[in-house]
Amino acid sequence: RLCQAELVDFGSVGSRPSSAMQLSFDGLAEASCHVSVGATAAAIEIKIRLNGIRRSLHLGDDIGCELHWACHADGGAWVPPAVQPGGSRSVDPVASRIECKFDCVLVFPKDKAPKSVVFVVLVHANGQEHWLKATGGKEFIIDVEELVQSAPPAPAALAGSQSALGAARVAERPTEWPELAAALVAAAAGGAPAKKKGKHKKQAAPAALKGTSELEGNLGRIDWQVVRSEGSVSVFVEGFVPLAEGVQLLLHMGCQAASGGEWELPEEPLPGTTPFGDGKATRALLVDQARIVLKFSEKAAPGGLAFVLYSTGGGGEQWLKTNSGTDFAIPLSADFALASAGPGDDVAKNFCDSETKYDNWSHFQRLCMVKDLCSRTKPLNTAESAWIAAVLRLANQKSLEWYRKRGYQPKDMAQCQEALGGAMAAAVAASATPTVRALLRLAVRACPRGSASGGDAIRHGILNIMRTHGIREGHRPGIECKFIEQWHQKLHTNSAPDDIAICEGYLEFLKSGNPDDLFRIVLERAKITREDMGKMATCGFVDHTKNGEQGLNVNPKHLPQLYDDMKGYLGILKHVHGGTDLKDLCEACKGQYPDPGSESMAFAIFNERDSPSVLGKIVELRSRLEPQLFKRDVLMLDVALEDQLRLVAERSDVSTMARDDLIKFMGTLLKDLKLSRRDPSLEMGMELFSRMTEGDLGGQERWSAAWCKLMLSACDRLSIVCAGVADTIAELLQTCCDRLKEAGARPGAVFTPDAKVLAAFGEETARCLSERLIAQCLRGLQPQLRRGAGLGPWELVSAGADKVIGTIVTMKALPGELPAGMAPCIAVTETLTGWEDIPAGIVAVLLPAAHAVDVLSHVAIRARNQKVLLASCDDEAILKELHGLSGTRLKLSLSPSGDVTWSAPAKDEGAVTSEASKALAANGKLVVPKPPPPPSMILAISEFVKNRKSIGGKSFHLAELTPKAGEYKIPPSATVPFGMFEEVLKDPMNDDFREELEELIEQEDWAKVRSFVVDELELPDKLEAAVLAQLTSVGAPLLADVPWQRAMKGVWASKWTDRAVSSRKQMGVSEDALMLAVLAQPLEPAAYAFVIHTRSPMTNANKEDALVEVVVGLGESLVSNSPGRALSASVGPGGAAPELHTFPSKPIGVFTPDGGTHIFRSDSNGEDLEGFAGAGLYDSITVVDCPNRPVNYASEPLIFDAKFRDDLLRKLFDLGRLVEANFNGQPQDIEGAVLKDGSLVVLQSRPQV
């Protein structure tokens, strides 16, 4: 047994006596393991130190080592410890791991200490794992009991512990610290550093900064001060840690450029410190366990310091962190915390570095890195999942390097591939996020199944073939075939899935005798060129070609006698590196199917895999397999079944299907998609679709106008959910590609991915999703439903001017400003968000129905105000025709049914411009009224009318409402008037802020301007007190301990939204002229939100009709034009039933948070002006974020309870008439809420546009 090695007794020279043993590693002559065991009065300590591993394995600095250990039973079995030592963790029911990059300590209570411990060492480096064992490939075994008996008890270096060195105590130190006092005097004499201008991110650091951090377990504390003076930055650290007198206390630290960044050594030598271990950390001793000073030159000072405390002495040691379990951090620059890493940034950096910077890298290391990421106990987030999918799929299509001066053994690759599949299955099973599941399923498609048992078979198999047929091998004489000899090298050191294609190509060559057949097959099946093959098997091994030809880029010798053996060898390669085709996975899952019927069904599906009849069977089998998806083979089979269904479905021509067949076909695809995503919103949409197609049909006759309108709602909701998933995944993957592109373009990069491949990767990959099939079905189905509902291809939002004449211009989205010479133009856009401003010179906006906007979206209001025609079309042929007319001058007209038509204008018909253009032409700029100075810091609603010029239209019109009891309510309100933001800016406490704000505005970085206002603007105490008091006085007190100040500052900051700045520039409004008041109200707990246009703006509407729109939840989803439709109906006087235009389909509703909150609404002096609608340019912000939740319309009364719906619409019509009468019959746009008790609240009313 290893414990019988010579025991060495080290005498106490400033430390305790202990027994130790020196152990050797198998195959690593320069590496060793030093073990010492000692005892205190209460504990047994096992200290293990590793030496020479990095040097022996030829690894870089970035490595990690772990002790993979357990207790050792008398019979030789591994058993778990009775207690888990500090720093160690369980990794399975038996084994544990503890970090041991250089050394580690296992401390056990004396009565729980094991008799012996068994371990191996696990090394992580460059994505690769090395399992290191003792001589002869055995496990290391430490006879703890024997070693303890040979060593006397000794003290530990544990904070707060009693030991032979004496009781723990906080070290004494002088009351004064002269060096610190002198530095503070020098800093005060020199003054604070001059503030740099021009760059907000380079904030000036204060002359002195100090802080305190508590130690974990409340064992003590660390005090620190940073002092800047005379070109230097000094860091004073003082520890208050109870330790025995003989123990040393050190800082184990690293410099950081930004909070959370990598540890680095100081740029210049730092007196009193010693570099330690991995070349990134240094250590510095606290003198007498009390104090230390670290002095940097100003130019070499890092952004900050990160450190842990390390105590050692008497043979024991301890690592101490903060009370929250994190590293200590000391900022040395003012913006140190601003650059903290976001979610997934560390993973992004690791992948970018490995793919573009490492000199040694291979596909094996890549798979190991992904496996480690998937094996964490913490579930993967979307950014991490996107990186996994991106790198695996890019590698699978050979857009990333597979072989970069790095070798590995086939058995390691085989084990890694098998383990990766298991880790991926566990990660998919653990994820409750639909986007993560979709990304990981994309990644699974790029993973070979792997087989740990087949790794050695690859190595031995090629050797057996060579020896059986007398092919030369190294110095062994035989038939000389350079290709086989080089491929043999690759199979031993870089075996990967591409060896399957190489073997298939070689078999084709053996049949034909033409070397071109080999390289043709490899190119067709693996996308590997001869140049790529030349890079293989060149990882520092012997070049057997002897003629300079590289890798496998050499013609093989024709040896047809190898054919049968090589065909058998192909089976080995497929078993290890393949196994992901449908038949292989059906076989692999034997013994794992939930029942015999599922196994029979799997093979039946394979046998008729290309028949359309297989679609339903695939969905049925996948539903049976769903509980078993945590298993690697079952997950891979499930993904293969989804791929097969999509392949068969893509061959189906939906354009020729009968409409009911198309609905049935789409239903099957949705059931399949549901199994892949587990998305609550998708499932709710499917529930509505199923009710309308397989259930009670909503009480309507199939294909009646009413049924078609309901089906349009169901299809619209599904379309939005599917498009959202596809867009999100495309964006996430493209972000990864953009990062890779940037990394590859940096100086020092050793590999640069193909920019053309990266540019379209996100969009191309999203097309592989099943959501794309749903979109194809909807493109065929939705126009039929619209026609069935009596709707034409066009949906009109704004009728525009009497004459609409302009030149057709196709564009992806509306620009902020129209280029010179383009007006007047008819914009045919691909998309519209609803928030845009319509540039002067555009007379019409036409777009696809998929991006249609609500009648009360802000862009719709501006379109009507500016007399711009705004309409959407669901007919792709019409849109294609319009695109073909790009550059043509046309006259647009509206048919009696509301369809848009066009013709060539007469020669004498002049250009017609929008109202915005007319206003500019007449005045040169839009005139914004200048308000008087603020009459007070905040006005109650009772003061709104008399201070009309100090508040915006929202506040004023609200105060004009005079409801009678029982009619409707208005919320208690107060408004911070125009000019208060400017007064706050003038406050002396904001002098520095104001100067820096002006600099940022000059840079036109509007996002930074907004965040700067919210984060840095100081509110005077008097203003805060006034807001609290006034809202309490009007009956709307703010909740205690909520950060309402950020909401108010956020409204002010929205003066610099991109759309607001663009609008002001277009309309000639100066920065100083535009002012924002802030209307504060409690957020009503709405069951529904509504908008009433008291006079319908729809084409051919009865002049007495109102147009009413209703959504579930709060009105944010309505006025912001979030995807989907509202319930829309025309309601007239008398008892006639409302005319329903659309049913609601917005997938996500916005709801009042539990416990309620307040909303701070923007109320500018630039809204509702002559020729310009400024509504929606500025933000309204809630104090507490409102939850967004999926809406289930399958049981929603707005859709399926006709009496409830009609009564509500009639009630809202009557409300509109009451409010209209309040304003002397002037038509109004009214926003409000229906509370859960059915009562109505009017939130704002403004003159209708």
Concatenate the DSSP letters of all residues of 1040-1088 into one string. TT--HHHHHHHHHHGGG-HHHHHHHHHHT--TTT--EEEEEEEPP-EEE
Closest CA to 1076 of 1043, 1044, 1045, 1054: 1054
Closest CA to 370 of 396, 389, 344: 389
pLDDT value at residue 129: 77
State the DSSP code for 1172.
B
Instruction: Tell me the mean pLDDT in the region 776-798.
Output: 90
State the DSSP code for 337.
G
pLDDT value at residue 539: 46
Q: Are 292 and 271 in contact (CB under 8 A)?
A: no
Question: Cα(1211)–Cα(1219) distance, rounded to whole angstroms?
Answer: 13
Least confident of 451-455, 609-613, 779-783, 857-861: 451-455
Question: Cα(364)–Cα(367) distance, rounded to whole angstroms?
Answer: 5
Helix 771-788 / helix 659-677 crossing angle, nearest 10 deg: 140
Least confident of 319-328, 963-972, 1164-1173, 1225-1234: 1164-1173
pLDDT value at residue 515: 94
Top-confidence residue, 806 or 199:
806
Q: How confident is the model at residue 1121 (pLDDT cuts 50, 70, 90)?
A: low
Any residues with CB less than 8 A from the CB of 1202 and at least 6 apart, and which?
Answer: none
Any residues with CB less than 8 A from the CB of 77 and at least 6 apart, and which?
Answer: none
Containing H/E element for 960? helix 953-960
pLDDT tens for 622-681 read: 999 999 999 999 999 999 999 999 999 999 988 899 999 999 999 999 999 999 999 999
Least confident of 282-296, 416-430, 442-456, 904-918: 904-918
Output the average pLDDT for the chain: 86
The two beta strands, 974-976 and 1106-1112, are: unpaired
Instruction: Tell me the mean pLDDT in the region 886-906.
Output: 89
Question: Cα(1095)–Cα(1223) distance, rounded to whole angstroms?
Answer: 14
State the DSSP code for 851.
G
Write the DSSP string, 716-785.
HHHHHHHHHHHHHHHHHHHHHHHHHHHHHHSTT-S----HHHHHTHHHHHHTTSTHHHHHHHHHHHHHHH
pLDDT value at residue 42: 65
pLDDT value at residue 922: 46
Q: How confident is the model at residue 921 (pLDDT cuts 50, 70, 90)?
A: very low
Write phi, then psi, for 842 (nearest 5 degrees).
-90, 125
Question: Cα(329)–Cα(854) distance, rounded to whole angstroms?
Answer: 50
Q: Is pLDDT of 268 > 50? A: yes
Q: What percent of the chain has pLDDT over 90?
A: 53
Q: Is pLDDT of 3 > 50? A: no
Question: Cα(292)–Cα(76) distance, rounded to whole angstroms?
Answer: 49
pLDDT value at residue 91: 79
Question: Cα(1133)–Cα(1118) distance, rounded to whole angstroms?
Answer: 25
pLDDT value at residue 335: 61
Question: How far from 1182 is each of 907, 1038, 1046, 1113, 1154, CA to CA, in Å?
Answer: 54, 12, 10, 15, 13
Q: Is pLDDT of 546 > 90? A: no
Q: What percent of the chain has pLDDT over 70?
A: 89
Q: Is pLDDT of 13 > 50? A: no
Instruction: Tell me the mean pLDDT in the region 1105-1116.
Output: 94
Q: How confident is the model at residue 1066 (pLDDT cuts 50, 70, 90)?
A: confident
Q: What angle do CA 402, 404, 409 make, to 5 degrees?
A: 75
pLDDT value at residue 769: 93
Q: Is pLDDT of 192 > 80? A: no
